[in-house]
Structure 1
């Protein structure tokens, strides 16, 4: 069974209110699949199927990452860990700032030797202690400011094992502009903005795809 590691958030950043408001919002959300998906739990199956196809395509390339260890960022209750990452990796670590979500993850995932460490911290305060074959970031990077996002991705880059990859799956604005959600204290960026962030983080794009078969009215999703 995984162990929970607590790390204190920084108190000196100008963006504390941005992070604190998000923390307050998520503290009121039920620790369920529907809760972590913002009331859209019914899209989970379609989302996971597309993610698995995408990940499989990366794992059959000539310079494919290994299958030792993966990191699930903004892991929630472990939906992606249980239904995707554990299919391909011997150990999966989770990082999630909501303690209740992590507590639920133990029960949601169940007893598994593949469950590694559970880190209770926001990504803006997290530094990996392992080398990872895949670092999976889905529907969480919008909770980082641009400055902290670049910093986080740079940290992830040096935390990759040989041939390791960072997978980003995020909502994208149709307008190309960055939109702020004051309810959950998050940012939805345009694709070009994200690509610029990746460039600033010294990352290169290996593969880019769109999520399909989502209901109308939702943001476009890229991975």
Structure 2
């Protein structure tokens, strides 16, 4: 969902500095077990890309907030348990901006679908679909069939039973998974749409998911990420347990996943006080 918060970058720390700082903190305030959990589960997701892709500058999110990778995902799940299955819930109380968002998506997507050398219109996958707001407003008018994925069962049930109406008959499958656990069939989708959910994956899990998305594309298929992007650096939003990345950091993860960026466009029509929203097409 859109966010009114923006975060500046945090200083980069080397692995050695991080280990030293955490060791000192461990002696005074942390158990040995908790210290090791932080090192193994969270820091590795950032260090992974930092070691293997030195041209991409990654910003370590402080363990003060995230408290380990498992807790990071758990807190996001708990946050969305309190978000109602409605357009207001999906838009974070900015429902008046929903049509602006959908029109921006429609205009962006039509560049890559239909016609020679473009994606087909047989099937799309909506990742982090919620109640199906983007499926209904952007994807169903274009694609013959849809598949939808979200970690919240309540949202998928509401989509099927109420929100989608007659469109529900054209949904082939609903997947109730966090994207880090979602496995995709090979060469199945013309478009994979990922909106306001890439921010809920660690760098490594996002990269791994994009690798799976790439393998799931039909000829000329396209992946689209639409998400909040920080104006500088990368930092955790502790409210909904999401990582807001600078556009260059996101591009680095995409590159590491073996994908080529086709186009990048900023969503217009949102208040300047809000975090910028960017759309990235890739294959």
Give the TM-score normalised by the residue count of structure 1: 0.91
Report if aligned partners of 2:180, 2:205 keep a CA contact under 8 Å in 1. yes
> Gaps spanning 5+ residues in structure 1: where?
1-12
Do residues 129 (structure 1) and 129 (structure 2) align?
A: no
Corresponding residue number in structure 2 for 1:96: 150
Q: Secondary structure at the match of 1:20?
A: helix
Do residues 190 (structure 1) and 190 (structure 2) align?
A: no
Give 1:55's match in structure 2, choosing from 88, 106, 109.
109
1:124-179 deviation digits (Å, cap 9, x = unpaired): 1001136100000011100000010000000000000111000111111112x112
CA distance in 2 between counterparts of 1:103 and 1:213 reads 31
Corresponding residue number in structure 2 for 1:27: 81
1:27-74 deviation digits (Å, cap 9, x = unpaired): 011111111111111111000001101111212564100100000000
Do residues 168 (structure 1) and 168 (structure 2) align?
A: no
Greater CA deviation, 109-118 or 84-93? Answer: 109-118
Listed as ranges, the matches of 1:1-223 within 5 Å are: 14=41, 15-60=69-114, 62-106=116-160, 107-112=162-167, 113-129=169-185, 131-175=188-232, 177-223=233-279
Alpha-carbon RMSD across the aligned residues, in angstroms, is 1.3
> Gaps spanning 5+ residues in structure 2: where?
1-39, 42-68
CA distance in 1 between counterparts of 2:206 and 2:132 reads 22
CA distance in 2 between counterparts of 1:210 and 1:102 reads 29
Report if aligned partners of 2:147, 2:173 keep a CA contact under 8 Å in 1. yes
Aligned residues: 210
1:181-216 deviation digits (Å, cap 9, x = unpaired): 111100000011001001000000111111111122
Report if aligned partners of 2:114, 2:120 keep a CA contact under 8 Å in 1. no
The runs of 4+ residues in structure 1 deviating greater than 2 Å are: none
CA distance in 1 between counterparts of 2:151 and 2:164 reads 18
CA distance in 1 between counterparts of 2:212 and 2:113 reads 22
Larger radius of gyration between Structure 1 and Structure 2: 2
Q: Secondary structure at the match of 2:262?
A: coil
